[in-house]
Structure 1
Amino acid sequence: MDIRLAFPSEVNQIMEIIGDARRHIAGYGSDQWQGAYPDREIIVEDILQGYGQVAVVDGRVAAYVAMMGHEPAYDCLLTGSWRQPDKTDYLTFHRIAVAETFRGQGVILALLEGLMEVRQTRTFRADTHPANKAMQHIFTKLGFQQVGIAQLPDGERLAYEKVASEKG
């Protein structure tokens, strides 16, 4: 598996992956991603900003994630608190999705783990819908801790944080 920046020419493939994720999420009764979000414009902007990352398996885009810095919605949690109080020195994972044909193969786990290994930060944050048990499981498996509830534009989300071990 290769992990790299997404290319603008891959937007259609990424949107198919988003569609797969949208249908999967709907299948367990969640309202997450059941509207327009995330739409093509958001994915294009992710790519142009250098946030869009993909996992490529056997020459096919298998998964997508946007990895960015400061998330304003994380500045003040509704409940709980961040373990690392710095409001800007962290990386955030958003819009995590895997193609249906690669679901259950550990691609998302490997993608996020790979991205965390090569970054020059100690703290990673993410959020997920309370009904999204698969993402909760992945975050826990990667060593993230649920630290509270964040208010995002589309609703309340479980807030997760991982503070990487000191290297030395």
Structure 2
Amino acid sequence: MDALDKHLLNLLQTDFPLEAEPFRAVAEKLGISEDEVLRRISSLKDEGVIRRIGAVLDSARLGFASRLCAARVPEERVPLFVGRVNVLPGVTHNYGRSHACNIWFTLIAPSEEELEGTIERLSQETGIENIMTFRAARTFKIDAKFLFDEPPPEEETPPAQEREGRPSTPS
């Protein structure tokens, strides 16, 4: 990754334009062509740096049900189980852990009934019983950003007082 890729990633995470041609607007901010922006995004996606570009929404406020799920999956059945979990449309994360419950994933569904039905079908399809589900008591991390050490171009860097949430005062 070069410095321009890093600036592009920062911009995609912190200041993605909500307009009809967002990648053209990104290109203008970076001083490159829209084709170059799309080429760089495609390359970063191919390299596994970018998984997806999309909004972070509050599923509960939209009326959806969500759960953190955990399962004890015998090692020889992990590929089957993980493969089934990964194709579920409401799965946002799926990861293995060194724990008795070795597969953990998050699941979002339009309703409690659909969420429970999805877990039941997953259990039936994989033979993994007792998939535990946990309701969130509070949010610890949301809208994570992975910013790079390289600062944005100088004209975009706000004065220190603004960065700290205080208005600038004349000296």
What's the TM-score once normalised by structure 1's chain length? 0.28
More strand by share: 1
What's the TM-score once normalised by structure 2's chain length? 0.28
Work out which of the two has the higher radius of gyration on C-alpha atoms and give 1 or 2.
Answer: 2
More helix by share: 2
